[in-house]
Structure 1
Amino acid sequence: MKEMKKMSFKRSAWKAWMLGALALTLAACSASNGGSAENGGSGAPGDGGSASGGQNGQKVIAVSVVESNRFLDLAKQKFEAAHPDIRIEIKPAFSTPQSESGMARATGFFDPNTLEKYATTINADLMNGTASDLLVVDPLPYTKYADKKLLADMGEFMKDDDRFSPDNYYMNVFDALKYDGGLYGIPYSVSMMVWMGNQDRLEPLGIRPDRWTWKEFKEKIGTLAQDPSGSPLQWEDPGDWIIERVGAERNAFIDSDSQTAEFAGQKFIDLLEETKSLYDQKFFSQPDVSISLSGDKAGSELSVFFPVRVGDFAAAAIGHLLFANPAIYEVPSESGEQGMSFDAHTMLAINNKSPNKQEAWEFLSFLLTDEMQFSPELEGLPVLKKASEAQMEAAKNASVEGSPKATPEELNKIHELLSQVNRFAGLDPKIEAILKEETKPFFTGQKTAETVAKSIQNKVNLYLQE
């Protein structure tokens, strides 16, 4: 069973991450054990940058990551075996000790100081031309680097690679990540947020599990919020709620083309006011109230929704831990017709100043092949269609004593949603920090929504224009 670190660099509430980790546990228990991969390389980002010379004339491809994982280590091992003239050097900013069982801990949870160190180091390396050939850019303002021509357009590599067939992939994911006509970050897996719904309380309201709006949410779920027996949603910090809402509709608040913010307008002011009203009307439980995942549903039957970040088809079963009659709901959107948003599990970019861009692409594209996308070490939903379908079939056939099992309909729902995601929910970590900090005075009654919106507008614009 995989352990989790205490801090998350993502904005999602603790409950979504806890359940997402449970999904990984279910998947790990039901999947075949993969071969143990050797530790991949050593060193930290910035301790030498891109290197082109190794032993016996090998080219060395440096890969800067926040933390390595078994998937990347296995890819390094397999790639080097097939390409003896290339050595992959994985350079983590954080090294995770293995558990007593010998399994590495789950990735994605880091102390903020680790991320700050990684971002600062990579930023300096990119600016002075010493960055690694490949970089993990999830916690970085990568579109700003793309503007400065520091990252390569990998869409061009895709076009020129005869081995890459777009029909085999969820191109909706790659299309959603395009920036200014180019593709500057590629994930090898993704995750998406859904809400597990308690149908015993929801069915009488006539809510559709898909394509519903925030207006419907407030109007229909508002009737349940007045029920003193239980709040519709588990507690979430208001700042985190704002970050999730902005991330899901980032194009409405950040104009990537002009690098300007749109937070001073009525749309964001209304979002602040709406969010405050949700807390005032007790849509959320109190911070000290939590749901047990012991399988005893007595405490959860009074809840209505439980957010879950789906990083594996096994997550489709989580609703059965919570409710006697669960259903998978899409997260509401502004219009109800905007489609699903997603997060990249690990997003890689190619240093445009690297002398080894082609070799860097060779390794990155290897992560997208059948050999790696079918690997049981892959964490997240595969971007290769065949691998996704195989993961779904494995979840259908899985049988783990004491663990819930998803129905075929629930698994098909996740598969359907994966093919429909069309909005990248990733926000620049700096913008997340601004939103979190600047909205606090509004939710504590110290400042008006208009004042807070203007402050956020000014700070984000200043950052975007640096």
Structure 2
Amino acid sequence: MKKIMFILISCMMMFAVTACQSSNSGGGTSEVNGGTAQPVNENKIEKEQTNNANLTTETPQSKGGKKTIVFSTHYEYDSLNEAKKKYEAAHPNIEIKLNYIPSVDGEKGKEYSDNFIKKTNTELLSGNGPDMVIMDHLPMGNYVNKKILANLSEMMEKDPTFKKDQYFNNILEGSKLNGSIYGLPLRFFVYGLAGDEEAIAKTGIKFDDQNWSWSQFNELAKGLVKKGDRQSALFGNREDFLNEMVQDNTAMFVDQANRKANFQSEPFIQLLNQVKKMFDDKVVTERPTKVYFVPAQINSPADYILSLREYFDKPKLYTKPNVGGQKVGNYYRAYNTIGINEKSAVKKEAWEFLKFLLSEDLRPAANKTGFPLNKAEYDRQVKQLIKDGSVKAHEEGPLKGKTIKVTEADIQGLDKYISGAIYPVEFKPTKIQEIISNESKAFFSGQKSAEDVAKLIQNRVTTYLNE
């Protein structure tokens, strides 16, 4: 196992819930990943550089017979710049105008980001705005409710060239809001628990992680701590751990499209009590200690080989426990989710460009980070990794440039894990996280009952959703 301080720092980063709008798109960007605030490593998240300070999102008029597609991307992505050039070269009647914020660190960068989000949101709500939008930092549920976004499910059904079986259908299904798809992710990440398989095996305790709840995990972890050499199973704090679970199961507690909350409910009250019990039983601890599991985000086939070994010498990726009574499945986060403006004058052209962005023809530039929605491109990446026979870690990372051998057996479980990813994780920093963190403190300190806190959270979230 790697040095204990690295594990503790990683755990704190994974469980910390902070409202972190990106302030520096040149490698220091921070995003909330499935309820776990984690600095976005430039080696994990595609480098986002920008020299364009033009924040305009108004659609320019077509000139000289050309049709212009205005695409609001928030940040500049090398892959989209390459895609723009390639598409325009093949379609001389189309111009792609990419709008994004300038790359500035610190408070100025946050100001640019906040202003860009506010401007884009205002324009879309007023019936204007760009033709295409990356929704990662925008309230897509609100747009769906107000019929601002084009129904992509209908466009898919009417387009004989779009073959659903070419894509991960579990991710397509998970992208639906109110029964239809309004935003298509170019890529996605999967979440799980990186476990120390060797240390777990020494305890003699066996378990099935394919269908377990946090309650079952709690009982298992108590046995691991009792029989093994670790003082706890996980590391974190109560409020952040609760938020982690809520964000993993957002659809159970928040219906943003219809502005409804479901916190004054038995599942959430049970969740409050479950988190408290896990800390009372010392299954999760706030004190520095050795652990059996660390929350993990996997970004690519190569990352599947490397990331787990950043925590343990002999790791295994386990399915995250659910809150109870759910269908068996893994968690994922959509990345670069693109919507099309329902009122766009170039909606057909925007759809064609979106299909192009999803195609495997963009490799390798468009697939640096995240698993591609396109299955053929995913298969290509896996085959190339096996053919290479090894993958080299980043010099500045915890593995310090170490080369890890790769065989087909090493990666065969990844296909099944990805195919089982059916639960989309909410990652955007929102007021809801802040409300949950602030109000739950009173329960964890014993000042209020779970029922009273659930009622307070329900009322505050409902007010927020209807603002």
- By the TM > 0.5 criterion, same fold? yes
Which residue matches 2:312?
Answer: 323
Residue 402 (structure 1) shift = 1.7
**Alpha-carbon contact 1:11-1:240 (below 8 Å) kept:** no
For 1:227 and 1:200, the matched residues in 2 are separated by: 14
Question: What SS does the corresponding residue of 2:381 show, helix, strand or coil?
Answer: helix
Which residue matches 1:53?
Answer: 62
Which residue matches 1:141?
Answer: 139
Provide Cα deviations, 1:140-175, integer angstroms capped at 9, x if missing partner: 221111111111111122122222111111122111
For 1:9 and 1:353, the matched residues in 2 are separated by: 31
For 1:50 and 1:394, the matched residues in 2 are separated by: 41
Which residue matches 1:282?
Answer: 282
Provide Cα deviations, 1:24-71, integer angstroms capped at 9, x if missing partner: 69xx9xxxxxxxx9x8894544x24223324x3322211112212111
Which residue matches 2:208?
Answer: 208
Question: What SS does the corresponding residue of 1:352 show, helix, strand or coil?
Answer: coil
Residue 234 (structure 1) shift = 4.9
Find out whether 1:455 has 2:456 as its counterpart. Answer: yes
Distance 1:348 1:284, change over 3 A: same
Question: What SS does the corresponding residue of 2:133 show, helix, strand or coil?
Answer: strand
Find out whether 1:67 has 2:75 as its counterpart. Answer: yes
Aligned partner (choices 86, 98, 104) of residue 94 of structure 2: 86
Compute the RMSD of aligned alpha carbons. Answer: 3.1
For 2:446 and 2:113, the matched residues in 1 are separated by: 31
Which residue matches 2:432?
Answer: 431
Q: Identify the structure with the greater strand proportion.
A: 2
> Structure 2: any 5+ residue segments left out of the alignment?
1-24, 393-400
For 1:82 and 1:119, the matched residues in 2 are separated by: 32
Which residue matches 1:13?
Answer: 36
**Alpha-carbon contact 2:33-2:333 (below 8 Å) kept:** no
Which residue matches 1:295?
Answer: none
Which residue matches 1:294?
Answer: none
Distance 1:86 1:41, change over 3 A: farther
Which residue matches 2:377?
Answer: 387
Identity of aligned residues (%): 27
**Alpha-carbon contact 1:8-1:111 (below 8 Å) kept:** no
Question: What SS does the corresponding residue of 1:188 show, helix, strand or coil?
Answer: strand
Residue 11 (structure 1) shift = 5.2
Residue 181 (structure 1) shift = 2.4
Residue 73 (structure 1) shift = 1.3
Amino acid paired to 2:191? M
Which residue matches 1:102?
Answer: none
For 2:451 and 2:86, the matched residues in 1 are separated by: 55
For 2:205 and 2:357, the matched residues in 1 are separated by: 45
Which residue matches 2:168?
Answer: 170
Distance 1:286 1:410, change over 3 A: farther
Which residue matches 2:247?
Answer: 247
Find out whether 1:158 has 2:156 as its counterpart. Answer: yes
**Alpha-carbon contact 2:247-2:425 (below 8 Å) kept:** yes
Distance 1:355 1:167, change over 3 A: same
Aligned partner (choices 276, 293, 303) of residue 305 of structure 1: 293
Distance 1:404 1:444, change over 3 A: farther
Provide Cα deviations, 1:277-308, integer angstroms capped at 9, x if missing partner: 2223333354666xxxxxxxxxxxx4211211
Residue 365 (structure 1) shift = 1.3
Distance 1:136 1:6, change over 3 A: closer
**Alpha-carbon contact 2:331-2:422 (below 8 Å) kept:** yes
Provide Cα deviations, 1:409-440, integer angstroms capped at 9, x if missing partner: 34222221212222222266343333233334
For 1:433 and 1:44, the matched residues in 2 are separated by: 32
Residue 241 (structure 1) shift = 2.2
Distance 1:233 1:356, change over 3 A: farther
Distance 1:181 1:58, change over 3 A: same
**Alpha-carbon contact 1:248-1:341 (below 8 Å) kept:** yes
Residue 222 (structure 1) shift = 1.8
Which residue matches 1:221?
Answer: 221
Distance 1:24 1:254, change over 3 A: closer
Residue 90 (structure 1) shift = 1.2
Distance 1:405 1:111, change over 3 A: farther
For 1:422 and 1:322, the matched residues in 2 are separated by: 26
For 2:44 and 2:137, the matched residues in 1 are separated by: 23
Which residue matches 1:32?
Answer: none
Find out whether 1:419 has 2:408 as its counterpart. Answer: no
**Alpha-carbon contact 1:168-1:386 (below 8 Å) kept:** yes
For 1:89 and 1:192, the matched residues in 2 are separated by: 31
For 1:23 and 1:403, the matched residues in 2 are separated by: 17
Residue 76 (structure 1) shift = 1.1
Residue 326 (structure 1) shift = 1.6
Amino acid paired to 1:184? Y
Q: TM-score, normalised by structure 1?
A: 0.82
**Alpha-carbon contact 2:200-2:228 (below 8 Å) kept:** no
Provide Cα deviations, 1:261-280, integer angstroms capped at 9, x if missing partner: 11011211111121122223
Distance 1:90 1:425, change over 3 A: same
